[in-house]
Chains A and B, each alone.
Chain A
């Protein structure tokens, strides 16, 4: 039986008066890729932003219910500590433009004031870039700016930056929507590799991508979790009519 690394219980979230998540109950198994899909405004991005406490960075927001990272209620944890365990990769590659590739990878440490010697830094940079399948492409240009890389490479650099902090969970918010098909394929291949050591939660609008990469798929609609099941079941025999209508393109 797979153990659960992340679990939400009756979790709701609001922007002002507007409730964007309604009683979400979901369990994310360890070393799985879970895809979160649904139409725009369904709450999927809000959900993963809540998972590493980014939702509360916006004014006039609140949450109810609980999210547990292993046994810890994340809303009782220090968010800075939490984000070391739960990393985030965004839709558009966002390497720090003034930093080199090398500096980008260890940015999490330097921005948090950690003191590392050169050997430690070198080790983290090489290890993270290797895990992000980028090392061979950039090992000779580590001191060039991160923005010098292609879009797909920049996104893998952002993944390396997140991995450098040695997280257990990686949240990915439409990580390939700004990339061409070849870069997308590389990221998808990378996700498969990362699954061995991390648990991944990926928001995607691309249903074929959800089908290709994920073990389980959650379908959100109007802030509710409508269906959550093995990806194969969702794409061959969804139990809920709303899920079926969405994935077959007959929504609304």
Chain B
């Protein structure tokens, strides 16, 4: 095994670590929302520092690999993909933190019916499942699995598309719960972004394994 191989393996391990942490952050946010557990949200906010530290470390490691090893071909594509995956994961981490802050700001538990009509649990489940699937695709260099993400993202897009009218309807019926309805709407928007980020990551996996650029292409 070459020195570069060793460095690339370490980089891969670090990315898997930040990835696992971000998925855990999102899961905790979901639990915190459903149980209205503000302490769990505070934990998420605290752990965001770890996500940021990972991001900086991975950025620095990529820089060092470029400077010291001049990677080419699949190695170059891997490091380029690693940088972008890292960036997307950090932003997903930010989203988990942002949702955590909404939960802390809210004074009473979220209305069960609101969570039901907006299909919040489904949104969390789909976005978490997308992140898990792209992680598996990354670990196994499985581009078929990476491509399956694009279909899953459509579920989030549709839920997001319907959210405005669903929320408006809820507010009309429950004007006293206006504030939490708006928090939920923002959360939906954020989870839709998680789907986009998972999709970006899937594109990076396909780029590094197959050398194909899918970004901005309609037909993937």
Contact = CB atoms under 8 A, between A and B. Distances in A.
Measured as residues with beta carbon below 8 angstroms from the partner, the interface class of chain A is: 10 to 19
B2 A237 contact: no
Interface size class of B (residues with CB under 8 A): 10 to 19
B84 to A, nearest CB: 15
Contact of B71 (A238, A243, A248): A248
Contact of B74 (A208, A211, A248): A248
Contacts of B142: none
Interface string B1-39: 010110000000000000000000000000000000000
A238 B75 CA distance: 12
B72 interface: yes
A207 B72 contact: yes
Interface in B61-116: 70-77
Chain B interface main SS type: helix
Contact of A249 (B2, B76, B77, B211): B2
Nearest to A208: B70
A235 interface: yes
Nearest to B210: A237
Interface of A is mostly: helix
Contacts of B73: 235-238, 243-244, 247-248
Contacts of B211: 236-237
Contacts of B75: 248
Contacts of A250: 2, 5
Interface of A: 207-208, 211, 235-238, 243-244, 247-250
27 contacts: A207-B70, A207-B72, A208-B70, A211-B72, A235-B72, A235-B73, A235-B76, A236-B72, A236-B73, A236-B77, A236-B211, A237-B73, A237-B77, A238-B73, A243-B73, A244-B73, A247-B73, A248-B4, A248-B71, A248-B72, A248-B73, A248-B74, A248-B75, A249-B2, A249-B4, A250-B2, A250-B5
